[in-house]
Structure formats: structure tokens, C-alpha cells
Structure 1
Amino acid sequence: MTEPDLLAAYDALLLDLDGTVYRGGEAVPGAVEAIKASRDRGAGIRYVTNNASRKPGSVAEHLNELGFQASVEEVSTSSQAAAAVLAERLDRGALVLIIGTPALTDEVEALGLTSTRVFSPEVAAVVQGHSPDTGWRDLAEAALAIRNGALWVACNVDATLPTERGLLPGNGSMVTALRAATDVEPVVAGKPARPLMDQAIRSAGARRPLVVGDRLDTDILGATNAELDALLVLTGVATPGQVLEAPAELRPRFLAADLSGLLVPVSEVEIAKQPDWDVQVDDDTLTVTGSGDPLALLRGLCAAWWQAGGGPVTVRAGDDASMAALAELNIG
């Protein structure tokens, strides 16, 4: 009997964008084909992004330009989630100070709130999303409002933003600056908090969704917080070494090189003991022997080390094949 592939166990995919589906203006290799195959088999598709700088329609348009089939309804953004959080907590018409792009302003105003970019005592809340144009003056206005008691909602706290040029400062870097200036913690709407994930699940009408992403601290932690399974892909931020040493709440159930992992047998992507690799645990050291796929080795290392408790670890090769595989993973 043929083993079912990973997709067969789930009715919807909650897909991260930056670093998972695309990097800036380029589709991640294999992503278009994997998502099309998933859609053709009836899986619900939701593009779930912490990037609050663009409207859902613009995100869908960009996806279509890259070869993905995407409708506006399939896009869930952290700006939508942040606006919903504000609407739940504020009176209609309340004044909200915006740090971010016009796309964030549109989402806030669409829910009956009033926007401004200048502090006044009437400001009831500050909402902060990514914009490449955010500067000191924007943060200064927000700091005044927050210190005056305004609710502070951050669309996300991603420290970096994957692009085709490499990792650039993300909204979380700006949030850190504002946190330092106010000694206040924001309410977070995007991943890893639940509002954005819950919004995407409701939109898809999903009962068994699978979270797919490239970041441990947002995608995988978001899945943990929402009590969902997750597939980590190594096309963006997370590195093999970080995965191996991840604490319990940042550990995915599945691991693949890219989105093609959705269409292979579960045993080929699930983090578990591997038949081609032997991993011995001795205190804080792992010794490896065997041969085969380096990613299979990583899954085996994670399974052995996480069962032992996890944390910082030294990995040693017991033969030439394992030495080569560890070098490819940049571990040891």
C-alpha cells in the first residue's frame, strides 16, 4: 500500500509568504508547482503574511505576477488582524495613530476608526506595521501617544524581512526601538500571536489546517500557540543549527527543503528516527554515522536531541559520509 503524502492529512494550507512562497520579487523554486498541485487536490489555500505594508489586493496581484493563482479572499495580512484587534477594543470613530503604509491606514479606517499620524491627547491607540519609510519622527509621535496611555498594537514583531538581497530590518526592529523608548509591551496581532492565524482558519473554513513557514519565532511558534501542526521549510530565515537547538515551543512536526515537501510521503518529512542514519547521544554531544540525504540526517538529529531534552549541542561525524552531510547542513 502506498504511503500517503503530507498534504493528504490536511484540508488547508496556511502559507507564510516572505521566505516561504517568494523572496521579494522572485518565487521560491518549486513553490508555484507545489501550491498548484495542492489546490488541484482541493486543499484550501490561505496566504498568511505578517507583512502589513501592502493591501490584500496588492499581495494577490504580486502572487499572480509570480505565477501563483491567488484571489484577494485567500490573503490574510497582519494589518487586517491588527485593525480587527483595534475595532474590538475601541469605540467606533476612535482616533488611531498610524505607523506604516497607506495599506494599514485603509484597514483601520475600513472598520470605522479614524486615523492620524500626529500625536494629540485624543489618540486612543497606536498601530505599527512595516514601512520602509518609517523614521524617527514617526516613532517620536507614537512614543508620545503610548506614554500618554494609548493602546499599542503591533502588526508583527519580525526582526528581519527576507528579500532577494538578503535579510533586511523588519517591523520588529522598529517595535524594539519604540519598546525601548516607552517601557511598554505592544499587543501583537500577527504571528506568533493568534489573531492572524485564527482569522486565516476562519476564512478557509478549515478543520485540519497545516501551517507552513520558514521562521521558528513566528510561523512555528504561531502554529504552537494555535495548536496546529507545522511544516518548516529551509528557504528563508531558519537554519539547520537553529532548528536542532530550538526550544520545545519552536519545534515543527515536519521539515523539508521547500514546499515540494507537501507532496512526498509523510515519513520523508516527519521529524523522527531515520533508517539511514545512526545518532548516538552522550550528554551534550551527538555522534552520527551512516549515509544518505543530509535533510534526513537533520530530522534524525532533531528527533534524537529533542527526545533527550534539547538545547545547545555538539555534533560529531563518525565517518566521511556523515562529515560531508554535516558540512552541507553547516552543523558541527
Structure 2
Amino acid sequence: MTDASPGRLADGYDLVIFDLDGVVYLIDQPIAGAPETVGRLHAEGKALAYATNNASRRSSEVADLLNGMGVAARPEEVLTSAAASAELLAERLPAGAPVLVVGAEALRAEVRAAGLRPVGRADEAPLAVVQGYGPQVGWADLAEASVAIRAGALWVATNTDRTLPSGRGPLPGNGSLVAVLRTALERDPDTVVGKPEPALFATAAHRVGARRPLVVGDRLDTDIEGAARAGMDSLLVLTGVSTAADLLTAGPDRRPTYVASDLTGLFAPGAAVRVPARDAAPATGATGGWRVTDAGAGPALTGTGGPLDALAVLCAAAWSGRSLTGLRPGSDEAGAALRALGLAG
């Protein structure tokens, strides 16, 4: 791990690896500040990459989508779990081998581009099943996959994200569909390619020879855990799936290096804070202007400062084993900070 510049977080790293859904865009709209942040990184010559578990688009399609939103991207900067899964299968199977594809057309295209033959039925004797997210995946697709896997086909999942972010809240993701087959087959996939496995991050760093990469994501269970497995620093942005409350209960393998409200935290001084607060006392979480106290009525946040600084103090307390059950504000400013973090009540 490395310490970043005390001014701009981005200055401490030679590569920034972005997740997409919930970080750069939400469904089909860019998240506020994302186009400007990416444009600034490009303008300053900073290497960047996009690593996504979404297997419903090819790299070129993702780049086109981003550019259409005003977010600059080149196909070679995009790494998808669909392409990585197809590459893995090509390494393990003979050229032209039949592969049963459960997912979107993009996954079939990646399998085909890898020199394999995508099929849709178990009676076509597939040597492998590759399962990725697709909005049209239904029971019949899962049934064919189940029959093929029981017959001995290798089972590869592009990712196991339980949910996908949306404007209406989290929706079922590929992990939920994988769980259907896991229940039916009473076994796990042979291989999971996407995050939190470190392969996408390691590939991104290798491509540009980066020695100090920073992973930026919105999910503790994929982006942040994947960064930890890859030995990389990470920034959690609160624009997608994981919340401040999730962060307080995160296990050691799912704790980011920094947290920010959104991508502008890469450049704005003080807009990204280290978690836990580095100078916090373990028992109280006290640091700077914030402090966790207990006057007999349960834990309370007191003091003054910004909401993210308060979150860093709360992380210090929670991660040291201090119970924050019934957390209450000890002042009006603390109440405002807890409301801003979604922790009030």
C-alpha cells in the first residue's frame, strides 16, 4: 500500500482503475462529476482503465457507451468479465469447442472471438458453460445449463454480483442467477472470473506497467475486496451499492483505503478521507473535530467537521470492536453529518 499526496488523491498513483456501474454511470446516465474527472485524468496524462463485471457488453460497446455519455474512453482501456471469461475458456478448451452461453449476445460474441463455438442447448454436447448477466436470461436457459453441467461441462461464471445498481434501487445481478444453479446443482461454479477475483485489476496494471494503482469502486464485496486481494489501494465512492452503514460493518478484507462521496474526491483536496481515521483513538474514535462518546445512553457522535471525516471516526470506532448500536447525534452538527451519511436513526 502507498500513501497518496496530502493534496490531490490522484497524484499518489500512476493508474486509476474504475468500476463502471455505480461509479461512472448509473444505468444509462453519467454520475455527476464523472465526465469531468475522467477528462481531467486524460488531460494530465494519467493512465486509467475501466474494469467491469458486467458481461452484457463488449469492450468496444462499453467504450462507445461511455463516449456517448461524455466520458472519454478507448476500447483498450476497458476490461470486461465477458472477454476475460472467453479468454480463460480458450486457454482450457480446444479451438472450436462448443460452449453453452447463458447471458447476453456480447458474451456469445466474446466466446466466438476467442475461437470457440457458442451453443444454446445441452444436447449440443458443450464442453463448458459460461454464465453471465443478461436481461433476457430465463428458466429455460438455466435449465439447459443445469443439464450440461450435470453431464460434466466446465462451469464458469463471469461474476457473482448479487445485485446491479439502478435508479430504482438494487436489482438482481448475475450472482442471483448463479445462486439458482448453485441451489439446483448443490455445488459452486468451477471458476469465477470477475471481481472480487483479482484478475481484472492485475491485468489492467500489467498492461501499462503500473506500480501504484488505485481501484475506485462502489461495492465492498467486489471492487474493494478485489483490490485487497490484488494488494492495491482502493477508494469507495458512495454513489452506488455500498453505503456508509455497510462500511461500518465491513470485515477486514472489505475495507477501502479511502472513501469519497463521488469521483470528484480524486482531485478536490479533503474530498476523499482515509478510513479509518489515522489518528483516531481505538476506544473512542476521537480525532480532529469528531469524537464517539458514551454517556450511558449509548454511543453518540459529537464535535464538528465534515460528514466524511465523521465517517472515518466512526469506522475507527466500529472496526476496533466498539458497538455503534443506537448511535445518536450529540449536537445539531453531528445530526446533520449522520443524516448526510444516511446513518440517522
- Which of 289, 299, 317 aligns to 1:304? It is 317
Matched, 1:65 2:77: no
Matched, 1:191 2:204: no
Counterpart Cα distance in 1 of 2:272 and 2:217:
18
Cα distance, 1:89 vs structure 2: 2.2
Counterpart Cα distance in 2 of 1:328 and 1:3:
24
Cα distance, 1:303 vs structure 2: 2.1
Match of 2:214 in 1: 210
Compared CA separation, residues 181 and 242, structure 1 to 2 (3 A):
same
Counterpart Cα distance in 2 of 1:286 and 1:88:
55
Aligned partners of 2:98 and 2:124 also within 8 Å: no
Q: For 1:101-138, what per-residue CA distance to the aligned partner results, in whole angstroms no more than 9, with x for missing partners?
A: 12111111222222111003732110011110101100
Counterpart Cα distance in 2 of 1:277 and 1:312:
15
Counterpart Cα distance in 2 of 1:141 and 1:171:
17
Q: For 1:77-118, what per-residue CA distance to the aligned partner results, in whole angstroms no more than 9, with x for missing partners?
A: 010111122122222222210001121111112222221110
Q: 3-state SS of the aligned residue for 2:127?
A: strand
| Segments ≥4 residues shifted beyond 6 Å | none
Match of 2:170 in 1: 167
Uncovered stretches (5+) of structure 1, i.e. residues with no partner: none
- Which of 302, 313, 317 aligns to 2:329? It is 317
Match of 1:74 in 2: 77
Match of 1:123 in 2: 126
Q: 3-state SS of the aligned residue for 1:126?
A: strand
Compared CA separation, residues 218 and 268, structure 1 to 2 (3 A):
closer
Aligned partners of 2:264 and 2:271 also within 8 Å: no
* Pairs aligned (count): 330
Match of 1:101 in 2: 104
Cα distance, 1:313 vs structure 2: 4.1
Counterpart residue identity of residue 38, structure 1: L
Cα distance, 1:159 vs structure 2: 1.3
TM-score by length of 2: 0.90
Counterpart Cα distance in 2 of 1:312 and 1:293:
19
Counterpart Cα distance in 2 of 1:267 and 1:6:
9
Counterpart Cα distance in 2 of 1:282 and 1:12:
46
Counterpart Cα distance in 2 of 1:197 and 1:3:
25
Counterpart Cα distance in 2 of 1:121 and 1:210:
44
TM-score by length of 1: 0.93
Q: 3-state SS of the aligned residue for 1:269?
A: strand
The structure showing larger relative contact order (alpha-carbon pairs under 8 Å, at least 6 residues apart) is: 1
Alpha-carbon RMSD? 2.1
Compared CA separation, residues 206 and 320, structure 1 to 2 (3 A):
same
